[in-house]
Structure 1
Amino acid sequence: MRHVVVMTAAASVGLISIFLVDLLSLLYVSRLGDANLTAAVGFATQVMFFSVSICIGLSIAIGALVSRAIGAGDRPAARRFAASGLVHVVLVTAFVSSAAWPLRREILMLFGARGEALDVGATYLAITLPVTVFLGLGMSLAGILRAIGDPRRAMYVTLAGALATAALDPVFIFGFGLGVNGAAIVTIISRIIFVVVGLHGASRKHRLIARPSAAAAIADVPAMMGIAVPAILTNLAAPVAGAYSMRIFSQFGDAVVAAFAIIDRVNPVAFGVLFALSGSVGPIMGQNLGAKLIGRVRQVLTNCFVVAALYVVVVALALRQAAPLVVDLFHAKGETADLVTFFCAYGGPLWLFLGAIFVANAAFNNLGFPFLSTLFNWGRATLGAIPFVTFGAAHYGPEGGYLGLIAGSALFGVGAVVAAYWVTGRLAKNHKDA
């Protein structure tokens, strides 16, 4: 439990700092006094979630391979996997951003963007999509540092970029009068800082990155993609569900989209520890699996579920009480204010079940069952979202759509917990038989 809490706490500082700066960016944009601009950032963020999800999947694969090699005492293999993985990250993220860039307006229109929100969102993406490569490298370098058991330096990767963003956002948005474009430019700067700090920790301090080799990169493709592809597919499920929900909510107008954008920034700050927990527990499980300590793997899983549940209960109660403050901070008015208050009041149950899925995903990805992550995440994003959100919004408006998300997540969250214990039970049986 101590290892889980320490790793999660360190990762939380850096991760929540990113979410907090994203929140501040939207807060600054909302102070411009135009709901269309807030909606534009909301639409663009939903698109960026797809790129972020790909980066997360790649970083999961690198972390899993490096941690297993370290757990097995094979440092040369760990260094080779780190180098090959970073090469794969550059190639994949460059391809994705290049493919999405010319289609950004069409993609935003699919999400329901129109008018000024569409124009501003397209410009924002034109600036930020090309730096997806730096985001992927930074996240992967942080994953390598967590894999070797250095959560402090992994925290520095994201914390450094976040602090730079917090300092520069007001300057570019208000000081230079660049508005939303200023926020996008600062994003570029922060992504570059991610990579610089990450390379310093992983390469100079730990010397955990071998010299990249084309032969090694090609040879490691099966191992890397065997984890990365299911992990990417798994992580793409969340933005798919978010995109569908955004499209449904966009039918009710930009005031509703603005509320959805605000809560999309508030929730990761409030419940960001769950993301850090799922990212931190993977290397712990991977090392214990590499050392064939299956009993510890199961204990780590239980500890994670306990930590996640307790955290959600405490934060959900606090967020419910803080709803008026959130409304005031973003200068939300009318329908936007009402919806933000509603989302703050009823977000807890949604994140309780999402937290269960996050922890279960970490177990699936690091214990050799990545297809289960894909199954449960896509199940929630499709069967657990589309019919529930559609029905709820059609009969009870935006509030009904949000309650639909909760109902669908409950169904798959419970199933993911059961499956996670089935996986550890199967590993224990196989280990005993061997």
Structure 2
Amino acid sequence: MRNIMGAALCALLAGGVAFGASAETKLTIATVNNGDMIRMQKLTDDFTKKNPDISLEWVTLEENTLRQRVTTDIATNSGQYDIMTIGTYEAPIWAKKGWLAPLENLGADYDVDDIMPSIRSALSNDDKLYAAPFYAESSMMMYRKDLFEKAGIEINGRLTWDQTLDIAKKLNDPANGVYGICLRGKAGWGENMALISTMGNAYGARWFDEEWKPEFNGQEWKDALSMYVDILGKYGPPGATSNGFNENLSLFNAGKCGMWIDATVAASFVTNPKDSKVADKVGFTEAPCAVTCTGANWLWAWNLAIPASSKNTEAAEKFIAWATSKSYLELVASKDGWANVPPGTRMSLYQNEKYLDAAPFAIKTLAAIDSADPINSTLKPKPYVGVQFAAIPEFQGIGTVVGQQFSAALAGQVTVDQALANAQESTDRTMQKAGYY
């Protein structure tokens, strides 16, 4: 028996297995296919060199698919991912449910207090941080200064949606491959509804009244959806119902959009000569208002979080600390320039003269983020928190269905009135079933 055990031990040692050596930890990371996340993946050699005992496996998905996958995974406690890219909608809800691990060991030099207060608050529960922001955004208008000048258009103050419609009509030149405006048309609570919700806010609409009853049967939503269908249907690119953030970014960078109202994070891409044919022709201004400017631009952050089901929380927290640190911003700046660092998460970035000099959009981005108030984002009082979403568990399903109805209206499959009636009926049914009234 001793000879057999000795032979086995020799075989193990000969095969390179040493007792006491630490096994490699593999982290599976689910993320969205946005440009800043793609850049992060390209830079992770910096992390693995510092942490040779940790390897990374990436699952990179389109936005709607990512949300479906991570929601299913965390709700069923299946433990497929060690790190998830989630939004400001999911973070507080999932933290309260006990689905996320608190981030309590990010390191002495991480500087949690440098995170934007509004973002940190949105990602915390009981004063504990449950997700770390990778980048934060609001929304604004990006436009072609050369086309505006050619058409004799000057921006004096914040535009209304009626004025934006008139401008889109003037800029629209499909014969030469230029469309008056590009907007999100792809259905999804975080796709077309991110934009349309802020349009609704601008027209005085709410998702729910103070008794939690949906209000899609009101004039405010009719005005907002009618404007959306009118402006994008007449002066947007063909096939707009397939276009989300990434598709519109490609169109704008190819010079095909006179205007684009979307996430402030796009600014570094549309002004980067490596990505954009119109990099030196882009101007920035606030998202349009209507009867009010309250809630007319959204507030969002993409964040990294650890599901409670992960068995690799220590290694996962090391990666999150690396990817969301001030030193990561410096790493991106050293590789791609200060204008391309992930924006909106750290106060110190907006005190950095190198960044302010390199990023002509920096101050407008900060102003947009600061102006977005998740508590007071509608003209009338509301019972929910959130600018372009309602922070309740049921919203993900509600927003998806409503987004599909509004996309169908854009495609001409249903009328605006039919889409709103369907949205009202389905949302009312869900809220009653959930016991809100």
TM-score, normalised to structure 2's length? Answer: 0.24
Higher strand proportion (structure 1 or 2): 2
Larger Rg, first or second structure (1 or 2): 2
